[in-house]
Chains A and B, each alone.
Chain A
Amino acid sequence: MSTSWVNPLRDPRDKRLPRIAGPCGLVIFGVTGDLSRKKLMPAIYDLSNRGLLPPGFALVGFARRDWADEDFMKVVKDAVREHARTPFREAVWKQLAEGLRFVQGSFDDDAAFDQLADTLKQLDDQRGTGGNHAFYLSIPPAAFPTVTRQLSRSGLASADGERWRRVVIEKPFGHDLDSARELNAVVNDVFPEESVFRIDHYLGKETVQNVLALRFANTFFEPIWNANYVDHVQITMAEDIGLGGRAGYYDGIGAARDVIQNHLLQLLALTAMEEPVSFSPADLRAEKAKVLASTKPIEPLDETTARGQYVGGWQGGQQVPGLLEEGGFSPESTTETFAAITLGVHNRRWAGVPFYLRTGKRLGRRVTEIAVVFKRAPHLPFDDTATEELGQNALVIRVQPDEGITMRFGSKIPGTSMEIRDVNMDFSYGHAFTEASPEAYERLILDVLLGEPSLFPVNEEVELSWKILDPVLDFWAEQGKPDPYEPGAWGPDSAEAMLARTGRTWRRP
């Protein structure tokens, strides 16, 4: 868009007008995968249904399957019918279906990429996608070099003038600092950093975006959001499912690389960062990078970390296999399915406040939350018996499920004597708002098409995260087997011991 042009119909006060992406198309590599069917296709339909995609939007699938456009159309339609959030409307579907194309081929097949280039050119002419294309790499990182090289060879990676090319990649962003740098180099070799969008779907979630609103739009919280009042912070992401069928991806990777490096460290950054100068992408990133740069594991690591591996047993009424019995895993595997670490944020605001991060599979229930636990009152003008049952005040941001905020504080038990016990106050952003609020992927895909980068971690954040995690991973690599833990509970005993050393306990989420 030329800079001198001001669209007379756009008025900054006009908040009704949705942001519709300009003419463009999206190419999905690995379109036959689960993510594509369950999340991406439905999200694209939902966006279209909400009128947020440009007229003439095109979606191109690229995969090895021997499909015609019609087969692809049917797959998309089924995926949309089954998983879309908004109701199915024939008119919307027809409009979307006109822009569906399928290109068959493998990643090392020059002819297939030439055909892809032709298809995109045709779409530019027929549908008016205007030479603007995003490439969604829903494929293993090992295939990145081949695909980016192919895109570059077939002239798809570069765009001239006002046209744009963007690439979207999913985690894992490497498996340590060195491999992350290598991966970034491979991608940046073809796509400049400003056109690389790394998806961390947690950042697309409403509650996560609400952390910033909660902290910086209110006066309640910020004054006590520091080491003077906060005792410690617990960030938990638990899943109740096991790893059956995911050995290929997970074996040798483990919980820390899979979850802590990206999701949990991003949540930590949002919880601990200073107020950004503005909400522009650059200012937000500057604050996130600052807080990540001042974060380090607290030593000694054998006392401040824990890792575990689930064994077979009963969970939720079902008998489940242990990790070593799951198909595809080596019986000798030392891959951890539970990881807990202690981090310190070394700045004035947070000095001395430990941040406990934990994640695991086959835990009690599926839950993600950030719990800020406050110090006890310095003096309690009650009898000891009155406050025996009083715990620490806590503010819990529930990321999923049942999105919302819980406050925990002491309250008098009704009766003639003064007895104080903890109570919960719930703000259930969850059961009301979220029913109609967009899925994370909708927001993120739209942001890619609009070229709005605030919700995507950049290169620097990825590398800083690995710098935090690498010492822990190196230490664990020397330690032999992870501690076994029963399915359906909250991890190995070593995790409890890790907090007990400083007189703290994990919250039961």
Chain B
Amino acid sequence: MIVDLPSTTTSAVNKKLVELRERGGAVTLARVLTLVIVTNEGEEAESVIDPAIEASREHPCRVIILARGPKKAAPRLDAQIRVGGDAGASEVIVLRLYGPLAGQGASCAIPLLLPDAPVVAWWPTGAPANTAEDPIGTLAHRRITDAAAEKNPIKFLTSRLETYSDGDTDLAWTRVTQWRALLSAALDLPPHEKVRAATVTGDATSPSSELLAAWLSRYLNVPVRRVKTDAGPGIVSVVLERQSGNVELVRPDGVTATLTQFGQPERRVALPRRDLTECLTEELRRLDPDEIYEETLHDLGKVIKGRAPAATKTAPKKAVATKKKAAKK
């Protein structure tokens, strides 16, 4: 059911929500969180509703969409409530904010937050420079950005480290989970040799490639090269160099990857690029600080850019040695 409340206030919205609940029979609010989505009015706002509704099937939640309209318009709040079949396992409240109200999203969201339940904020694009200090960010226990949807993905990603605060996360990081899982599983198998160096190849503007490279650098403690290519969408390949043979995970087409490693036959793995719904569902599963993401951000700067196959042959030992020293401190 979709109910429109043009030119309204949040207390009217709250009243309507209670009324709708009573009319639909007394249902307890088994909602585990409030998801606040900050977006612009129009197509952008529409495009995030479906992933949010789908994600709510695993995490029943109240979704509040703050859709910012033109700043120059007269101040007005239009609300729309979607419940039942139109909202999956959630209830969706779209607040369209016009004029000076467009900058006052937080004050409109506060009265509608579920009592006691955690709040997750998501900026599908156009995230503020410092999300933790943003008025809506301060309400949230977890703040989701998406570097890949920003104008300059790589620059945006680098800026995440400067403003990092517990609870920050980025969908570019969510997109590498499956890659990380496969690589971890590959290293579980013998031969249990140390990885000497690693290379991550991917699209020039793929923030996920950067994060994957930084993660390898952080946890393997070896030089990691990040090679840019236009061969495929997103991440194209990862190579971990070991004495008896490399571990290679190559995905040329963005759908199916090939995993090659010493002692094992070459294997195909379905590794399709993850859609928004899948990423959001994974994000909502965990509400505690993601230490691994934070540590990975620290190593973004250590990743070696570009193609330099010859140089790494001698470089590794030195790099490893200095790193160990640093770790001891």
B204 on interface, CB distance cutoff 8 Å: no
Contact pick for A20, options B60, B185, B282, CB 8 Å: B185
A126 on interface, CB distance cutoff 8 Å: yes
In the bound complex, residues from chain B placing their C-beta under 8 Å from that of A13 are: 291-292
Contact pick for A435, options B89, B221, B292, CB 8 Å: B89
Given known A-B contacts A17-B180, A22-B185, A432 and B89 have beta carbons under 8 A apart: yes
Contact with B along A461-474 (1 / 0, CB 8 A): 00000000000000
Q: Which one of B5-13, B135-143, B157-165, B263-271 contacts A? A: B263-271
B180→A9 contact, CB < 8 A = yes
In the bound complex, residues from chain B placing their C-beta under 8 Å from that of A20 are: 181-182, 185
Contact with B along A154-196 (1 / 0, CB 8 A): 0000000000000000000000000000000000000000000
In the bound complex, residues from chain B placing their C-beta under 8 Å from that of A404 are: 30
**Nearest CB of B to A441, in Å:** 19
B292→A7 contact, CB < 8 A = no
In the bound complex, residues from chain B placing their C-beta under 8 Å from that of A436 are: 57-58, 281
Q: Which one of B14-22, B187-195, B320-328 contacts A? A: B187-195
Contact pick for B270, options A1, A95, A431, CB 8 Å: A95
A7→B184 contact, CB < 8 A = yes
Kindly identify, within residues 1 to 26 of chain A, every residue whose CB is under 8 Å from any CB belonging to chain B.
1-2, 4-5, 7-11, 13-18, 20, 22-23
A17→B177 contact, CB < 8 A = yes
A437 on interface, CB distance cutoff 8 Å: yes
Question: Which A residues lie at the B interface, using CB under 8 A?
Answer: 1-2, 4-5, 7-11, 13-18, 20, 22-23, 48-49, 51, 54-56, 89, 91-92, 94-95, 98, 125-128, 130, 404, 425-429, 431-433, 435-437
Q: Of all chain A residues, which has the CB nearest B253?
A: A91
Contact with A along B85-98 (1 / 0, CB 8 A): 00001000000000
- 13 A-B interface contacts by CB (under 8 A): A9-B180, A13-B291, A20-B182, A23-B189, A98-B268, A125-B265, A127-B265, A128-B265, A428-B30, A432-B30, A432-B57, A435-B89, A437-B58
Contact pick for B89, options A15, A51, A425, A431, CB 8 Å: A431
In the bound complex, residues from chain B placing their C-beta under 8 Å from that of A4 are: 192
Which 5 A/B pairs are nearest by Cβ-Cβ distance?
A: A432-B60, A436-B58, A5-B192, A432-B89, A55-B267
Contact pick for A429, options B30, B177, B188, B190, CB 8 Å: B30
Q: Of all chain B residues, which has the CB nearest A99?
A: B267
B178→A9 contact, CB < 8 A = no
B220→A8 contact, CB < 8 A = yes
Contact with A along B170-187 (1 / 0, CB 8 A): 000010011011111101
Among A14, A23, A49, find the residue whose CB has the most chain B CB atoms closer than 10 A.
A14
B256 on interface, CB distance cutoff 8 Å: yes
Among B187, B282, B286, find the residue whose CB has the most chain A CB atoms closer than 10 A.
B187
Contact pick for A128, options B221, B264, B272, CB 8 Å: B264
B28 on interface, CB distance cutoff 8 Å: yes
In the bound complex, residues from chain B placing their C-beta under 8 Å from that of A427 are: 28, 30
In the bound complex, residues from chain B placing their C-beta under 8 Å from that of A1 are: 188, 190, 192
Contact pick for A55, options B27, B187, B188, B268, CB 8 Å: B268
A55→B259 contact, CB < 8 A = yes
In the bound complex, residues from chain A placing their C-beta under 8 Å from that of B58 are: 433, 435-437
In the assembled complex, the Cα of A126 lies from the Cα of B182 at a distance in Å of 19
B255 on interface, CB distance cutoff 8 Å: yes
A91→B292 contact, CB < 8 A = no
Q: Of all chain B residues, which has the CB nearest A13?
A: B291
Kindly identify, within residues 117 to 150 of chain B, every residue whose CB is under 8 Å from any CB belonging to chain A.
none
A9→B184 contact, CB < 8 A = yes
Q: Of all chain A residues, which has the CB nearest B183?
A: A9
**Nearest CB of A to B281, in Å:** 7
In the assembled complex, the Cα of A53 lies from the Cα of B174 at a distance in Å of 19
Given known A-B contacts A8-B187, A432-B89, A18 and B220 have beta carbons under 8 A apart: no
A11→B292 contact, CB < 8 A = yes
Question: Which B residues lie at the A interface, using CB under 8 A?
Answer: 27-28, 30, 56-58, 60, 89, 174, 177-178, 180-185, 187-190, 192, 195, 216, 219-221, 255-256, 259, 264-265, 267-272, 281-282, 286, 288, 290-292
**Nearest CB of A to B57, in Å:** 5
In the assembled complex, the Cα of A433 lies from the Cα of B182 at a distance in Å of 27
Contact pick for A95, options B180, B189, B256, CB 8 Å: B256
In the assembled complex, the Cα of A428 lies from the Cα of B267 at a distance in Å of 42
In the bound complex, residues from chain B placing their C-beta under 8 Å from that of A23 are: 189, 264
In the bound complex, residues from chain B placing their C-beta under 8 Å from that of A10 are: 184, 188
Among A1, A94, A126, A436, find the residue whose CB has the most chain B CB atoms closer than 10 A.
A436
In the bound complex, residues from chain A placing their C-beta under 8 Å from that of B182 are: 20, 51, 55
**Nearest CB of A to B208, in Å:** 14
**Nearest CB of B to A366, in Å:** 22
**Nearest CB of A to B43, in Å:** 25
B292→A14 contact, CB < 8 A = yes
In the bound complex, residues from chain A placing their C-beta under 8 Å from that of B178 are: 51
Contact pick for B286, options A7, A16, A89, A426, CB 8 Å: A16
In the bound complex, residues from chain B placing their C-beta under 8 Å from that of A8 are: 187, 195, 219-221
B185→A51 contact, CB < 8 A = no
B256→A91 contact, CB < 8 A = yes
In the bound complex, residues from chain A placing their C-beta under 8 Å from that of B60 are: 432-433
Contact pick for B192, options A2, A54, A433, CB 8 Å: A2
In the bound complex, residues from chain B placing their C-beta under 8 Å from that of A432 are: 30, 56-57, 60, 89
Contact pick for A91, options B183, B272, B291, CB 8 Å: B272
In the bound complex, residues from chain A placing their C-beta under 8 Å from that of B180 are: 9, 14, 16-17
**Nearest CB of A to B289, in Å:** 10
In the bound complex, residues from chain B placing their C-beta under 8 Å from that of A15 are: 286, 288
B270→A94 contact, CB < 8 A = yes
In the assembled complex, the Cα of A2 lies from the Cα of B188 at a distance in Å of 10
Q: Of all chain B residues, which has the CB nearest A91?
A: B270
In the bound complex, residues from chain A placing their C-beta under 8 Å from that of B291 are: 13
In the bound complex, residues from chain A placing their C-beta under 8 Å from that of B265 are: 56, 125-128
